[in-house]
Structure 1
């Protein structure tokens, strides 16, 4: 039996929509990273770009567990003095999209393919998004935060 290797003609990129309301950040990021990499498909290969497009809505209603509200998210521009640090509490109010993108980026492999996969992630603060013509399928995350119950 020969090993199956996906060809460019075999690639299909579906669209999924994920509601982040009351979902713990780590659980959301791991599920989204799985969809972006294409690990949910039977034709998965680590070197091939089989991932899907993922739309995350209600990013401002995400659940942060533990002491994350007191911690900070760091990023560096690569230029001298380019260290940027923002607290999670401040980011949840002003830019919740950055929290989710940083968590998903950390769960993707550290290679050239990760940038292509991360570009397929669309994060929106509210329930509205401009990608309705793509007819995304809903992807349900079963486990929600214990504090939300």
Structure 2
């Protein structure tokens, strides 16, 4: 008889991965990174336990978007005050707020719960190819596309 394995938080073994974002499409990169942050790539995945790994994204300034999203897609945020709507195009987000742009894309693919908040802390995004996590000996993660 088969039995479903339920991972306990103390049994989770975490790994560090590094992703090079140069010439990657934002959506494909985000979906793969979100899968690793949640832990869905592991055979011991348990939905109610944070069993995901740490991910470092480098070269975030070289990530691209497909089609004409550069000019037609907008990011909105509101300050909750009258007239407080702020609109930024994809081009502005990519050039001026690169780290926030990539983080926002990946965070949107994680659960919007307390567990998702914990998983969001395992993501590290950097503009260039330098990062301070060499001591963790990250494994290179290859993403198609």
The normalised TM-score by structure 1 is 0.89
Shift of 1:6: 0.6
Question: 3-state SS of the aligned residue for 2:35?
Answer: helix
Give 1:134 deviation, angstroms.
Answer: 0.7
Is residue 66 from structure 1 mapped to residue 51 from structure 2 by the alignment? no
RMSD, aligned α-carbons: 1.4
Deviations 1:12-32 (A, max 9, x none): 121100000111110000000
Query: What pairs with 1:109-148 in structure 2 (closer than 5 Å)?
Result: 109-143=111-145
TM-superposed deviation, 1:75: 2.6
Match of 1:36 in 2: 37
CA distance, structure 1, for counterparts of residue 76 and residue 10 of structure 2? 40
- Structure 2 gaps of 5+ residues are none
CA displacement at 1:106 relative to structure 2: 1.3
How many Å separate the matches in 2 of 1:50 and 1:83?
37
Q: How many residue pairs end up in the alignment?
A: 142
**Which residue of the partner structure matches residue 100 of structure 2?**
98
